[in-house]
Copies of this chain bind each other. A is one copy, B any other.
Amino acid sequence: MCRFIAYHGDAIYLEDLIATPRHSLVKQSLCAEQARTVTQGDGFGIGWYGERDEPAVYREVMPAWSDENLLALAATVRSGLFFAHVRAATAGGIARQNCHPFRHGRWMFMHNGQIGGYAQLRRALEARLPDALYALRRGATDSELLFLLTLARIDDGVAPQDAVRRVFDETVALMQARGIEEPLRMAAALTDGRRLHAFRLSSDDAPPTLYRCRGRSGTVVASEPLHREGDEGDWVPMRHGETLSAGALDH
Q: Which residues of A are in contact with B by a Cβ distance under 8 Å?
A: 30-31, 38-39, 41-42, 48, 50-52, 54-63, 65-69, 72-73, 75-78, 89, 92-97, 119, 122-123, 126-127, 131, 134-135, 137-140
Query: How far does the alpha carbon of A197 sit from the alpha carbon of B181 in the complex, in Å?
Result: 44
**A61: chain B residues within 8 A (beta carbon):** 62, 66
26 contacts across the A-B interface (CB closer than 8 A): A30-B39, A31-B39, A38-B38, A42-B63, A50-B76, A51-B78, A52-B76, A55-B76, A57-B69, A58-B58, A59-B68, A59-B69, A66-B89, A67-B94, A69-B96, A77-B77, A95-B95, A95-B96, A95-B97, A95-B139, A97-B97, A97-B139, A97-B140, A119-B135, A126-B126, A139-B140
In the complex with contacts A39-B41, A139-B140, A50-B77 CB distance below 8 A = yes
**Contact in complex: B97, A93 (CB < 8 Å):** yes
Tell whether, in the assembled complex, residue A122 and residue B135 are in contact, meaning their CB atoms are under 8 Å apart.
yes
Q: How far is the CA of A63 from the CA of B58 in the complex (A)?
A: 16
